Amino acid sequence: MIGRLNHVAIAVKDLEKAASVYKNALGAKVGPPLKQPEHGVTVIFIELPNTKIELLEPLGENSPIAKFLEKAPDGGIHHVCYEVEDIMASRDQLRAQGARILGDGNPKIGAHGKPVLFLHPKDFCGTLVELEQV
């Protein structure tokens, strides 16, 4: 079921400052900011040769990233995203094994314009997992 690592998401307070660190200190290719109001975030993708880093900044008062930053004021790794070929089949297989799907259990369109689901961190070794259909 699980495919390649699509990205590692890092919650940050200041998106432009974080992007500057990756661009200027590490020489990475940095994309433009993308507002994702349905997810309560603004994102910037950092392109790496083998995957991406997704920087997440809160967008709006009810952003899940704002809540994350309350607990971890310096920011940090928020989730990992794995690719799957069929998100509905993956969801059904995971549910059958007892995994909890966050939200209403139906995919939403993510920052790449593809369907995504989030899996409860208590079911995956304390890590929030995002699945993205490719």
pLDDT band at 61 (very low <50, low <70, confident <90, very high): confident
Whether 130 sits among the annotated catalytic residues: the reply is yes
The whole-number average pLDDT for the span 64-91 is: 97
pLDDT average, residue stretch 43-54 = 97
Q: What is the pLDDT of residue 105?
A: 95
Average model confidence (pLDDT) for the chain? 96
Output DSSP code: residue 122. Answer: G
Boundaries of every domain in the chain = 5-133
User: Looking at the domain 5-133, which fold is it?
Assistant: 2,3-Dihydroxybiphenyl 1,2-Dioxygenase; domain 1 (3.10.180)
The pTM (predicted TM-score) of the whole model is 0.94
Q: How does pLDDT run across 102-112, given as a tens digit for each residue?
A: 999 999 999 99
Task: Report whether pLDDT(30) > 90.
Answer: yes
pLDDT of residue 60: 87
Catalytic residue among 16, 54, 85, 130: 130
| pLDDT score, position 122 | 97
The answer to whether the beta carbons of residues 18 and 42 sit under 8 Å apart is no
